[in-house]
Amino acid sequence: MTDSAQFCARTDLPFPRSEPRYAAKGTLDFTPFADALAGLTDVRRTVLDALLADATILDMQQAMGAGDLTAEELVTWYVDRIYRYDFNRLNSVMELNPHALAIARQFDAERVAGHVRSAMHGIPVLLKDNIATGDGMHTTAGAYALKDWQPDRDAFLVQQLRNAGAVILGKTNLSEWANWMDPCMPNGFSTRGGQTRNPYGPFETYGSSSGSAVAAASNFAAAAVGSETQGSIIMPASANSVVGLKTSMGLISRDYIVPLLAWQDVPGPMGRTVTDVALLLTAMAGMDDKDPVTQDAAALAGVDFTQFLSAEAAAGLTIGIVVQSDAEIDALLARLGLAHAQAAVSRSYLQANREAQRQIGAIFQGLGFDVVEVASSALPASPDLIPPLTYGYKDAMNRFLAGLGEQVTVASLEEIIAFNAADLANRAPYGQGYLIESQNGLLSEVEFFAIREENQRTTRDGLHRLFVRYGVDVLLSDTDQAYAPAGFPAITVPFGYSDSGQPVGLTMVADYLGEPALIAVAHAFEQEARTRKAPNLEITLQQLPPAPE
């Protein structure tokens, strides 16, 4: 979901946001890591800080191959950082995997025996807490109603990661129920995880993959996995200065992920570099019988996406930048009916924005890309998400819960609402207005599917026509998030920082299964611009409000 703050004045609070006074927040258990943390000396920590500060996953593999690092030590270093910087502070990690060290030792032994499964071998990864794992950890979507659910199996993408040798380090916080809880609930808050905070300072985190973005930015894992319905990977990744890839529908299985709006939900990788995102995508993607939509992405099944991290992959690609002509600006101002003075200010702003887009285009021209100007009128509008989501959430959630049977104590959305209402101050401290709205929605099944068909058709056709008409491979725009109902991919890369230090991202969109072009272009920009800076967590922590008593 997009930013919920626009709907409720109660979220118009200073950053970093405080947490409400309530008793349902969970905690992190560091007991399984106590001996390892005690054995991490200050001297060795300093060495690892220098070794891993800007390391990509490939750098970590090289260090482990050279004997300078082990997966067990890497897990310990990340858990140490989570303890020092995240626990009851940034609140990005919701649960740690008590078996992480044992799994890391297993992968270290495999490496010594000469068996390295993939570039993800021994690499710690965090998962958004709506992705099921069958390892004894919980999957709650941030909700108190699911606090005891320990899934009976892994989601398909989790099994893919394990097969590739990744160490599932734990679960990340999120905007509760993927940001469909209440219009007054701030981004990055969940009842179980508390309030996620931006590692760069007193800024918005956005959501719903808030914890995954913050954890990746803060170096609490090598990379993280998020999910998006509309904006939930791209917006928090951009706000927290990491790379986030919203994948084409079907490229990664949606199996055993707590749903929001099934026909728009997709998981995707988040990391500090395009390289890490490409590696994580390679490990997760694949065809899955439990998610028939993965058949649509069969053309990219088994593809190694790191092959697109090259100048050769980027050669010949055409970039589109969105600009407003004077005629389009005139038409827009006429529709708005602004007074003369207001219109003059708006015109100046729009013209300045046009010049900024052209300056961005010049950057890509300097990288050797052909750049084409795309008329803003050619962009399809993003349909209103609220009507289908109101119906679709209830339908998807009831189906999902029915499939869990006795694994959970709530069997329907109606039961979740009743469970929360029994102790609203603790179980839903900001309210549950969206849940109630979904439960009482008047949209019929026929109307819902008609909206689904219309939304998908108009956005897919509109975007595809744009790419064909202008001969564009990658569009530098989020197209008002029309890519989401279309099922098309989008990526964001760090673009810089405002004068106050707030991260700014650059978003790119491609046609269906256009991940190769997105990765190639994003990597070319990243390598040339080198804009990303690690957050100064020591300074950020000094700005945080005290935890409620």
* Number of alpha carbons in the 13 Å side-chain half-sphere of residue 266: 31
Query: Token digits for 376?
Result: 């803003």
Query: Token digits for 202?
Result: 């007193």
Sign of the alpha-carbon dihedral angle for 422, 425, 427, 431: positive
Query: Token digits for 272?
Result: 């500090």
Whole-angstrom Cα Rg for the chain: 23
> Which residues of 257-378 form beta strands (DSSP E)?
266-271, 318-323, 370-375
Alpha-carbon span 13 to 186, nearest angstrom: 9
Bridge partners, residue 225, by sequence: 127, 269
Query: Token digits for 53?
Result: 């500060």
Buried b (16+ CB within 10 A) or exposed e, 413-449: beebbebbeeeeebbbbbbbbbbbbbbebebeeeebe
Q: Is residue 41 exposed (0-12), middle (13-18) or buried (19+ Cβ within 10 Å)? A: exposed
For strands 474-476 and 503-510, give the pairing.
antiparallel
Instruction: Give the three-class secondary structure for 38.
Output: helix
> 147 catalytic, yes or no?
no
**Residue written as token pair 């039961």:** 415
Tallying the residues shown for the chain, one arrives at 549
Catalytic residue among 4, 25, 92, 128: 128
> 171 catalytic, yes or no?
no
Q: Is-contact 30 37, C-beta < 8 A?
A: yes
Amino acid 207 reads: G
Catalytic residue among 4, 92, 210, 232: 232
Alpha-carbon span 125 to 277, nearest angstrom: 12
**Residue written as token pair 């590696």:** 279
Catalytic residue among 208, 209, 241, 382: 208
**Residue written as token pair 């349909």:** 383
> 25 catalytic, yes or no?
no
Q: Is-contact 244 266, C-beta < 8 A?
A: no
Whether cis (ω within 30° of 0) applies to the bond prior to 190 is: no
Alpha-carbon span 505 to 115, nearest angstrom: 38
Write the DSSP assignment of 308-337 as a string of letters: GSSHHHHTT-EEEEEE--HHHHHHHHHHHT
Q: Is residue 219 exposed (0-12), middle (13-18) or buried (19+ Cβ within 10 Å)? A: buried
Active site residues: 128, 208, 232
